[in-house]
Structure 1
């Protein structure tokens, strides 16, 4: 069967009807784009390759179970699966350093500890745990950009490409995420860097 010029949705239909060749064509068409999407987030070739495989395993399961209904939007749907798996990798990996603001100062800049006594270490741990909780309470799109920017050290260009929005939108989401975080911290009387938030 010659699949050249055949649409993605038709290939998905062929695959549903048992054509493994159709699925191989879908993978061949899109794997480099899916890999790039994952790699932009995880910045690790081997992790990206694992997640690429995981993405297509999820695609197979969804299509074979009859739950796929994104007619004509195959690639955006696959990219979304890849994107979510990459974000989940970081959430599970618990790579949550202290958030650094745009001026280079930490969110808890005013929490100075002269020595790492047992008490101060405990306070730091409690504060970081609380910060993680506050981040998780943010609206999904704000939380996503904050995690990508500060936990994954992604550039706004990479964030924009990975989330399929303009750089201005990514910057806007980041700004609102920090504003919301500041409000939550003020509510709980947590120290934050006043200089950063001055208008």
Structure 2
């Protein structure tokens, strides 16, 4: 039975269909998460939260089958992983024996208004360049750069081989260089 058929059966009230979907992908998904986070307890939390989100999305009627159910749940898991790391980022810890002034840390991070404007313009220009890439290249580039995926993880999420993911990244970089030259965009901060 296809993933879509199981989703439809679950939407109709068949709890066994959901169980079948979970059993179909639980090992692959959990392995992927565990390899990514390298912490069993955290992997279990993300795995559980992933399926809670899957269940809620299907129940609310917001799941639209595109024939890529596994890639969809992988993206959910990845987004939850990224959210976890964002939430857990903390300021650097300094020991009590070190002579640091709290203001030293704050002022070292400050940048001038001009630097901020230049940085924001460079990022905006790069975002526009990325949006002109073909979809496959854009997806690999965003997973690699923005989400810090390994090429093994990218291959799993996109459903292609590692070599294909590497090739797409290579062409994305080449195409970005070409677009930057053609449009005379400065990418120096």
TM-score range, shorter chain: 0.5 to 0.7
Q: Which residue of 1 aligns with 2:142?
A: 147
Map 1:1-199 to 2 at 5 A. 7=1, 15=10, 18-37=13-32, 45=43, 46-62=45-61, 77-85=68-76, 116-191=111-186
DSSP 3-state at the match of 2:68: helix
Tell me if structure 1 keeps the 8 A contact 2:7–2:58. no
CA distance in 1, matches of 2:112, 2:35: 39
Q: Against the structure 1 CA distance between its residues 172 and 123, is the aligned structure 2 distance closer, same or farther, given a 3 Å change threshold?
A: same
- Count of residues in correspondence between the two structures: 159
> Which structure dedicates a bigger proportion of its chain to helix?
2
What is the Cα deviation at residue 139 of structure 1? 1.5
DSSP 3-state at the match of 1:153: coil
Tell me if structure 2 keeps the 8 A contact 1:134–1:181. yes
Q: Against the structure 1 CA distance between its residues 14 and 191, is the aligned structure 2 distance closer, same or farther, given a 3 Å change threshold?
A: closer
CA distance in 1, matches of 2:78, 2:131: 13
TM-score (norm 1): 0.59
What is the Cα deviation at residue 37 of structure 1? 4.8
Tell me if structure 2 keeps the 8 A contact 1:160–1:170. yes
Computed over aligned residues only, the root mean square deviation of the Cα atoms, in angstroms, reads 3.9
Unaligned 5+ residue runs, structure 2?
87-109
DSSP 3-state at the match of 1:185: helix
DSSP 3-state at the match of 2:172: helix
TM-score (norm 2): 0.62
Greater RCO structure (CA 8 Å; 6+ sep): 1
Q: Against the structure 1 CA distance between its residues 140 and 90, is the aligned structure 2 distance closer, same or farther, given a 3 Å change threshold?
A: farther
Unaligned 5+ residue runs, structure 1?
1-6, 71-75, 96-114, 194-199
Q: Against the structure 1 CA distance between its residues 129 and 41, is the aligned structure 2 distance closer, same or farther, given a 3 Å change threshold?
A: farther
